[in-house]
Amino acid sequence: MFIETEEFAEELAAMGELERDAAYAAVERWFAEHADRITHHRHLAPKETATTLRLRGEPMVTDGPFMEGKEVVSGYAEIEVADLDEAMAVARSWPACPVVEIRPLA
């Protein structure tokens, strides 16, 4: 999962058009370079579009970010790799959001 921080979002918003286009091109190259391992990927809608369902205690549904914090999951890619070491090697090459979370499928 690609985790966007407030700082990263501000840096992206402050970029000029050419710099932002180069950043997006780097992401497109990353997906192309790892296409043989990627089985699914999506960019998520902005956090403001989320609906949160809290199931502990009395069930509650709220509009807005699905988690409290300054980091937001902005997208994900499902990759097929042999082990955690290979997953980490792929994740280390991610050119965008400054945090990548790796989780195995259950």
Return the pLDDT at 68.
56
Q: Tell me the domain boundaries of the chain.
A: 2-100
Taking the C-alpha atoms of residue 91 and residue 88, their distance in angstroms, rounded to an integer, is 5
DSSP 82: S
71 pLDDT more than 70: yes
67 pLDDT more than 90: no
The pLDDT tens digits of the residues spanning 26-45 come to 999 999 999 999 999 998 88
Copy the structure tokens of residue 97.
Answer: 């959001």
Q: Which residues of 62-85 are buried (b: 16+ CB within 10 A; e: fewer)?
A: eeeeeeeeebbbbebbebebeeee
15 pLDDT more than 80: yes
Q: Which CATH class is domain 2-100?
A: alpha beta
Tell me how many degrees the CA angle 7-13-15 measures, rounded to the nearest 5: 105
- For the segment 10-24, the average pLDDT, to the nearest whole number, is 96
DSSP 93: T
Taking the C-alpha atoms of residue 37 and residue 64, their distance in angstroms, rounded to an integer, is 33
Taking the C-alpha atoms of residue 85 and residue 89, their distance in angstroms, rounded to an integer, is 6
Write down the pTM of the prediction: 0.77
- For the segment 52-76, the average pLDDT, to the nearest whole number, is 68
